[in-house]
Chains A and B, each alone.
Chain A
């Protein structure tokens, strides 16, 4: 167990999410972290579930899907190594927006959002440090989603 925490420690310290974050905060956040492995085809979470965790993908690939009755789910995005997943934990009502399904064997670090939210409420400087790391991710996903909407490869004039 200690060995595993140690490993996690090392992995988290290297993750870009913690770049420039004060040591104390990193240790604090690590206190909410755990390793997880998801098999190909399994769900990490589903749309509408409480967003009480977020994830750092260590290895593997996860599809964000929208379930459509009577059809195959629509994949709106795929996430891979080193990416953050499930920013819904940051904003009320703290519900997952999509189904997250592993496309291959995927190793994740899960972070307990409930625990972290409480700590952020107590310490706004920590809260700001975390928001500052999530805001660019949210913005980049929004920009990417809007670019997808342009249908740039679509038949011209259609």
Chain B
């Protein structure tokens, strides 16, 4: 990914911007030919979409999130970025739900490869991700480990990721199902951003402390109407994060990994399975769930063939299909697979938890199963494994 040198991060230290700065930022990104993605209001929810200017950003829109519940609220004075985690994260833009990964035309007994639309990095969307929450930034870091150079090195993911500019926006108020503080992923953005906006406690919806995290971010920042950040601004940003961290309504037990690994056989799995619909909503809204299906397709005349990568879910029975039957037939086994992979096995595979504490799986679960509650229901272990 792009190098984030400490030099670049230190350079213009920090500045404070208001509406005009935000407007200029979106303009600068658009004028650079980027596709600017940001939270937008769509179908009764805040979700990620294309924006052309500041007017497309939801203003004064908050949300009420609870297990199995999501509702938008109106608060005139709340300003920009007053909402909790968006209905879906950024995953679909860096790692689309459907992607052609190979294409060929029959030639004699063999075939001739043809480029797919995303083979060439130049044709990949050049993205600007604006308004990335700390949890979602942590999710990008997780995906980098899975699909980036540290992992399976998906060239398409890599091309999009390398070219994307990320503008993080810290949370002034956690959403109703958030628990990032206990995962160590928020409410303030960690690394891997180009610019980071922190709402100022005295006016969280319209004034932001801006910090650059890369050379590209510093260049952008230099072009914005801003005033230098004074100590009061730095303190106000700090206050925002402290308040947000303390307002979080739930926490993941610190020994989640050990609890799950030591309780692979536990009556709780069957109890949860009685509620779980195995619908897979949690896997599609999860910003780190990466499992995919490989599907081969062909034209009716058999002359052309394509290979597609499609999002898949460990909640489908077919997911673990082995000629003759599936390994994980019961709903209990499938729920256990999802949560143990996310919170326990992920550590073995990628050296990090797969959970970033965004709470989406709780909000969007049709029966309101709460991942933190599920872990807490298992016997605690003496040795807490840090997340």
Task: Check A-B contact in the complex, CB < 8 A.
Answer: yes
The chain A residues found within 8 Å of chain B, CB to CB, are 156-157
B324 at interface, CB cutoff 8 A: yes
Bitwise, B320-362 to A at CB < 8 A (1) or not (0) is: 0011110000000000000000000000000000000000000
Total residues of chain B contacting the partner, CB 8 A:
4
User: Inside 8 A of A157's CB, which chain B residues have their CB?
Assistant: 323-325
A155 and chain B: residue at smallest CB distance = B324
User: Inside 8 A of B325's CB, which chain A residues have their CB?
Assistant: 156-157
B322 and chain A: residue at smallest CB distance = A156
CA distance A26 to B191 in the complex (A): 80
Distance in Å: Cβ of B318 to nearest Cβ of chain A:
14
* 7 A-B pairs whose Cβ atoms sit less than 8 Å apart in the complex: A156-B322, A156-B323, A156-B324, A156-B325, A157-B323, A157-B324, A157-B325
CA distance A156 to B322 in the complex (A): 9
A158 and chain B: residue at smallest CB distance = B324
Our count of residue pairs bridging A and B at CB distance below 8 angstroms stands at 7
CA distance A156 to B324 in the complex (A): 4
Distance in Å: Cβ of A157 to nearest Cβ of chain B:
4
User: Inside 8 A of B324's CB, which chain A residues have their CB?
Assistant: 156-157
The chain B residues found within 8 Å of chain A, CB to CB, are 322-325
B325 and chain A: residue at smallest CB distance = A157
Distance in Å: Cβ of B327 to nearest Cβ of chain A:
12
User: Inside 8 A of A156's CB, which chain B residues have their CB?
Assistant: 322-325
Distance in Å: Cβ of A94 to nearest Cβ of chain B:
44
User: Inside 8 A of B323's CB, which chain A residues have their CB?
Assistant: 156-157
A156 and chain B: residue at smallest CB distance = B324
Distance in Å: Cβ of A146 to nearest Cβ of chain B:
20
Of B322, B324, B325, most A-chain CB atoms within 10 Å = B324
CA distance A157 to B323 in the complex (A): 7
CA distance A156 to B325 in the complex (A): 8
Distance in Å: Cβ of A47 to nearest Cβ of chain B:
36
CA distance A156 to B323 in the complex (A): 6
Which 4 pairs show the lowest CB-CB distances between chains A and B?
A: A156-B324, A157-B324, A156-B323, A157-B325
CA distance A157 to B324 in the complex (A): 4
CA distance A157 to B322 in the complex (A): 10
Distance in Å: Cβ of A152 to nearest Cβ of chain B:
11
Distance in Å: Cβ of B315 to nearest Cβ of chain A:
22
CA distance A157 to B325 in the complex (A): 7
Distance in Å: Cβ of A76 to nearest Cβ of chain B:
26
Distance in Å: Cβ of B99 to nearest Cβ of chain A:
31
Distance in Å: Cβ of B326 to nearest Cβ of chain A:
11
Distance in Å: Cβ of A130 to nearest Cβ of chain B:
41
B324 and chain A: residue at smallest CB distance = A156
Distance in Å: Cβ of A74 to nearest Cβ of chain B:
26
CA distance A101 to B322 in the complex (A): 41
B323 and chain A: residue at smallest CB distance = A156
Distance in Å: Cβ of A88 to nearest Cβ of chain B:
38
Distance in Å: Cβ of A100 to nearest Cβ of chain B:
36
CA distance A71 to B36 in the complex (A): 78
Distance in Å: Cβ of A112 to nearest Cβ of chain B:
50
